[in-house]
């Protein structure tokens, strides 16, 4: 019985690995998401029933739950070198000359050209086909161990099949590659963050770099990281060329960029660099050049390296996409939290295939630092960044009479007073009814990840606010009383108005956590809203709570707790909520799922084996009474329930003085 279950588990794992490969590496799924989910669920179930068969390389074990407090420092077995840069054809010819000078006169010299992906490099160690460690580049000599985070990238195999590849010994290998994020995936992810009031990132590269160093692998798993592998080193046998290595890596199931080129001469290399300079905007990810490598590994060894760069490779760097234009005016845009962002209104200019007429200036500090003035000729750049930015000012072209920019004294939209939060670069408009703020907050309220009101997008919200139908997001629910008037609006018709009203009515069923997110409390993104809702279960409980209580929730810090308290103390917001309540919006988690709320706000950790029920059952019961079960003990834990042969959590609870419960005591509570 056990044996056949083990066989079934093995079979499911290799099936899932194959489908992961098809989906994440080849981008060519062979089964539907539903079918995949079924396989995954089956495996989860079998592993749950047979925990002794759970291994670290199972597809179910990609995302660990433990937080990584400090990353281990790891010294690279072979240093992760950087590349010398070349910027012109002449420099490439020089590189070729140096390579020839360093090698036997009659040797045939070949190159491999690869796209230089703009991300962060990582080194992966596999032992007997299993992923053991993943290490960042660091300073090239020593990096940080980020295995738990890297394991969440689904195109990275946790296990590689060495059976058929035994012509070479690959028991101990190191592969290296570039972790990156595709532009579109990044854009969407950033957009959701912006809507959630979370900090947005400037470009995919920074996001990848920041993500790989997060302490919570669960968060990493939610971000769309990708990888291309470009290097293979075997500690047990000698390999012969870069081209063969790339092919072998592909065979082993690694994700290798297809756009590499084997070149027989430096002229072919130059042609490749030229082609991709023009074609780079067709790629779904950012590249900043081409990496040129001498193909033969024997040649690479002969050439060796100087200082921190190999003599056998170079990077041909593409220039950042820049343009010069006149900055006509600096305007200030008001966001939904009231923050003012300076925007450069530019003389339209063509840059990397699109016409640019605006660029962000981030905040007033930045304008001051770069001393950007109206009328200046500025250099703008579009790197991997979503929005073009102003890089510098052409001081020689500056008008003698130009003046330093001062921040607006009142809100440019509503003329209200402005204020600056301590330690923040942003300037805020204090008027909650400021039309720009109102528009942005209603757009957020109706957005897909909040109340999901289909049809109520940016342009309609702007129109309704301008026409005086909406003053706050709570007014959305009174629109149905104005149906007759709305139908008369040019762009709308009977059908679209009735669809809109229907979508608005439907949104009343949105669960409490989405509602909480939709309110637009600063720093409360969708994740934080979910945590707050799960913990407090109702708005009333949250409003009655204290900052200290709020911060007891795992991952909720002082900026969120302060912001929550500030939000609910505001008379304007209280009125909004009353209106929403009257409209029938959910301000509590569905009560029917709960037997009681006797454990609301209490956090439990379970350790050891319980006699009368499984840990899963115990967890479900605690939740039925509104309690929260988490996996690690901290000073915020209310109770640690201790079963037979408890783990280290018991010791930790004792150390921290957390209340210990026996199984009997727990049963009395549930």
Kindly list the catalytic residues.
116
Helices 571-582 and 558-569 cross at an angle (nearest 10°) of 80
Q: Which class for 163: exposed (0-12), middle (13-18), buried (19 or more C-beta within 10 A)?
A: exposed
Residue 150 engages ligand IVH in binding (rule: CB under 6 A): no
By beta carbon distance, the residue nearest ligand IVH is: 121
Residue 377 engages ligand IVH in binding (rule: CB under 6 A): no
DSSP E strands in 51-210: the ranges are 73-75, 85-86, 111-117, 120-127, 130-136, 142-144, 172-181
Shortest approach of ligand IVH to residue 81 CB, angstroms?
A: 4
CA–CA distance from 413 to each of 179, 341, 359 (Å)?
Answer: 42, 12, 19
* Residue with smaller CB distance to ligand IVH, 39 or 81: 81
Shortest approach of ligand IVH to residue 76 CB, angstroms?
A: 12
Q: How far from each other are the two terminal CA atoms of the chain, in whole angstroms? A: 36
Look at residues 606, 619, 653, 609 and name the one whose alpha carbon lies nearest to residue 634. Answer: 653
DSSP annotation of 488: T
Q: Which class for 596: exposed (0-12), middle (13-18), buried (19 or more C-beta within 10 A)?
A: exposed
Q: Which class for 225: exposed (0-12), middle (13-18), buried (19 or more C-beta within 10 A)?
A: buried
Shortest approach of ligand IVH to residue 289 CB, angstroms?
A: 8
DSSP E strands in 105-162: the ranges are 111-117, 120-127, 130-136, 142-144
Q: Which helix (H) or strand (E) holds 215?
A: none
Which window, 23-31, 116-124, 537-545, 655-663, contacts ligand IVH (CB under 6 A)? 116-124
Residue 83 engages ligand IVH in binding (rule: CB under 6 A): yes
Residue 256 engages ligand IVH in binding (rule: CB under 6 A): no
* Residue with smaller CB distance to ligand IVH, 304 or 348: 304
* Residue with smaller CB distance to ligand IVH, 276 or 512: 276
CB 396 within 8 A of CB 402: no
Angle, alpha carbons 412-520-368 (nearest 5°): 40
Binding test (CB under 6 A) with ligand IVH, winner from 291, 529, 539, 577: 291
* Residue with smaller CB distance to ligand IVH, 62 or 137: 137
Interaction with ligand IVH in 483-512: which residues (CB under 6 A)? Answer: none
* Residue with smaller CB distance to ligand IVH, 82 or 142: 82
Shortest approach of ligand IVH to residue 322 CB, angstroms?
A: 21
Residue 226 engages ligand IVH in binding (rule: CB under 6 A): no
* Residue with smaller CB distance to ligand IVH, 230 or 469: 230
Residue 121 engages ligand IVH in binding (rule: CB under 6 A): yes
β-pair partners for 317: 289
Which window, 147-155, 266-274, 309-317, 323-331, contacts ligand IVH (CB under 6 A)? 309-317
| # of chain residues touching ligand IVH (CB under 6 A) | 14
Interaction with ligand IVH in 176-215: which residues (CB under 6 A)? Answer: 178
Residue 230 engages ligand IVH in binding (rule: CB under 6 A): yes
β-pair partners for 644: 609
Longest dimension (CA), the chain: 88
* Residue with smaller CB distance to ligand IVH, 136 or 325: 136
Placement of tokens 């979508």 in the chain: 503
Measure the CA–CA gap between 181 and 119, rounded to whole angstroms.
Answer: 8
Which window, 114-122, 588-596, 625-633, 635-643, contacts ligand IVH (CB under 6 A)? 114-122
Placement of tokens 């956590």 in the chain: 513
* Residue with smaller CB distance to ligand IVH, 137 or 261: 137
Shortest approach of ligand IVH to residue 110 CB, angstroms?
A: 16
Residue 539 engages ligand IVH in binding (rule: CB under 6 A): no
Q: Which residues contact 199 (CB under 8 A, 6 or more apart)?
A: 193
Placement of tokens 């023009």 in the chain: 278
Interaction with ligand IVH in 36-65: which residues (CB under 6 A)? Answer: none
DSSP annotation of 287: E
* Residue with smaller CB distance to ligand IVH, 291 or 628: 291
Shortest approach of ligand IVH to residue 311 CB, angstroms?
A: 10
Shortest approach of ligand IVH to residue 310 CB, angstroms?
A: 5
- Binding mask 154-183 toward ligand IVH (x if CB under 6 A, else -) reads ------------------------x-----
Q: Which helix (H) or strand (E) holds 427?
A: strand 427-429
Look at residues 146, 134, 125, 120 and name the one whose alpha carbon lies nearest to residue 68. Answer: 146
* Residue with smaller CB distance to ligand IVH, 116 or 280: 116
β-pair partners for 418: 429
Binding test (CB under 6 A) with ligand IVH, winner from 156, 313, 443, 661: 313
Residue 310 engages ligand IVH in binding (rule: CB under 6 A): yes
Q: Which residues contact 367 (CB under 8 A, 6 or more apart)?
A: 330, 342, 361, 405
Binding test (CB under 6 A) with ligand IVH, winner from 62, 116, 205, 621: 116
Measure the CA–CA gap between 324 and 656, rounded to whole angstroms.
Answer: 60
Binding test (CB under 6 A) with ligand IVH, winner from 156, 158, 220, 315: 315
Which window, 34-42, 61-69, 78-86, 563-571, contacts ligand IVH (CB under 6 A)? 78-86
Which window, 43-51, 75-83, 273-281, 360-368, contacts ligand IVH (CB under 6 A)? 75-83
Which window, 80-88, 337-345, 348-356, 460-468, contacts ligand IVH (CB under 6 A)? 80-88
Placement of tokens 């053991």 in the chain: 132
- Cα atoms in the 13 Å half-sphere on the side-chain side of 65: 6
Q: Which class for 644: exposed (0-12), middle (13-18), buried (19 or more C-beta within 10 A)?
A: exposed
Rg (CA), the chain: 29
Binding test (CB under 6 A) with ligand IVH, winner from 50, 82, 200, 322: 82
* Residue with smaller CB distance to ligand IVH, 309 or 499: 309
Residue 314 engages ligand IVH in binding (rule: CB under 6 A): no
- Phi, psi (rounded to 5 degrees) for 637: -70, 135
* Residue with smaller CB distance to ligand IVH, 181 or 497: 181
Which window, 219-227, 308-316, 347-355, 537-545, contacts ligand IVH (CB under 6 A)? 308-316
Look at residues 465, 495, 490 and name the one whose alpha carbon lies nearest to residue 479. Answer: 465
Shortest approach of ligand IVH to residue 178 CB, angstroms?
A: 4
Binding test (CB under 6 A) with ligand IVH, winner from 46, 68, 92, 117: 117
β-pair partners for 410: 417
The binding site for ligand IVH (CB under 6 A) comprises 81-83, 114, 116-117, 121, 137, 178, 230, 291, 310, 313, 315
């Amino acid at each position: 019985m056990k044996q056949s279950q083990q066989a079934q588990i093995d079979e499911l794992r290799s099936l899932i690995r194959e489908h992961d490969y098809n989906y994440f590496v080849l981008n060519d799924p062979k089964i539907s998401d539903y079918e995949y989910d079924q396989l995954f669920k089956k495996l989860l179930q079998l592993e749950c029933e047979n925990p002794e068969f759970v291994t670290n390389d199972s597809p179910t074990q990609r995302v660990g739950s433990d937080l990584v407090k400090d990353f281990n420092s790891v010294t690279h077995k072979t240093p992760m070198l950087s590349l010398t840069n070349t910027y012109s054809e002449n420099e490439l010819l020089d590189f070729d000359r140096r390579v020839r000078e360093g090698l036997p006169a009659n040797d045939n010299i070949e190159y491999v050209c690869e796209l230089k992906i703009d991300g962060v490099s990582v080194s992966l160690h596999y032992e007997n086909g299993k992923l053991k460690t993943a290490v960042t580049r660091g300073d090239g000599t020593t990096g940080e161990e980020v295995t738990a985070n890297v394991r969440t990238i689904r195109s990275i195999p946790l296990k590689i099949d060495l059976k058929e590849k035994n012509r070479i010994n690959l028991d101990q290998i190191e592969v290296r590659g570039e972790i990156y994020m595709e532009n579109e995936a990044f854009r969407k992810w950033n957009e959701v963050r912006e809507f959630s009031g979370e900090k947005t990132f400037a470009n995919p590269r920074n996001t990848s770099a920041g993500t790989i160093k997060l302490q919570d692998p669960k968060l990493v798993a939610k971000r769309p990281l990708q990888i291309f592998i470009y290097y293979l080193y075997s500690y047990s046998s000698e390999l012969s060329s870069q081209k063969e290595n790339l092919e072998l890596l592909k065979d082993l199931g690694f994700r290798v960029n297809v756009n590499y080129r084997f070149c027989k001469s430096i002229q072919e290399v130059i042609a490749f660099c030229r082609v991709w300079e023009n074609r780079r905007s067709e790629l779904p990810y950012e590249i900043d050049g081409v990496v040129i490598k001498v193909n033969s590994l024997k040649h690479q060894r002969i050439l060796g390296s100087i200082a921190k760069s190999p003599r056998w490779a170079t990077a041909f760097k593409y220039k950042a996409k820049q343009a010069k234009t006149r900055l006509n005016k600096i305007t200030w845009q008001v966001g939904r939290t009231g923050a003012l962002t300076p925007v450069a209104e530019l003389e339209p200019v063509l840059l990397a295939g699109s016409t640019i007429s605006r660029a962000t200036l981030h905040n007033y500090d930045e304008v001051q630092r770069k001393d950007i003035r109206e009328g200046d000729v500025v250099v703008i750049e579009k790197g991997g960044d979503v929005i073009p930015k102003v890089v510098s000012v052409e001081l020689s072209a500056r008008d003698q009479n130009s003046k330093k920019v001062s921040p607006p004294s009142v809100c440019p939209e509503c003329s209200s007073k402005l204020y600056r939060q301590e330690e923040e670069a942003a300037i805020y408009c204090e008027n909650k009814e400021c039309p720009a703020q109102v528009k942005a907050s209603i757009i957020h309220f109706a957005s897909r990840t909040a109340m999901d009101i289909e049809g109520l997008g940016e342009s309609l919200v702007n129109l309704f606010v301008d026409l005086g139908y909406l003053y706050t997001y709570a007014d959305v629910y009174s629109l149905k009383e104005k149906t007759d008037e709305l139908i008369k609006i040019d762009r709308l018709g009977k059908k679209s108005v009735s669809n809109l009203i229907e979508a608005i009515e439907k949104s009343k069923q949105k669960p409490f956590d989405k509602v909480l997110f939709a309110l637009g409390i600063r720093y409360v993104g969708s994740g934080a809203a979910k945590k707050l809702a799960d913990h407090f279960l109702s708005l009333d409980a949250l409003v009655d709570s204290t900052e200290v209580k709020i911060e007891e929730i795992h991952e909720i810090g002082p900026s969120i707790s302060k912001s929550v308290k500030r939000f609910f103390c505001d008379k304007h917001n209280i009125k909004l909520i009353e209106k929403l309540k009257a409209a029938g919006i959910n301000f509590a988690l569905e009560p029917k799922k709960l037997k009681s709320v006797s454990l609301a706000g209490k956090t439990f950790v379970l350790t050891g084996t319980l006699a009368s029920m499984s840990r899963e059952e115990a967890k479900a019961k605690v939740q039925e009474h509104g309690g929260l079960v988490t996996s690690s003990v901290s000073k915020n834990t209310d109770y640690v329930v201790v079963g037979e042969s408890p783990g280290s959590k018991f010791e930790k609870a004792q150390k921290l003085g957390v209340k210990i419960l026996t199984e009997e005591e727990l049963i009395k509570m549930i």
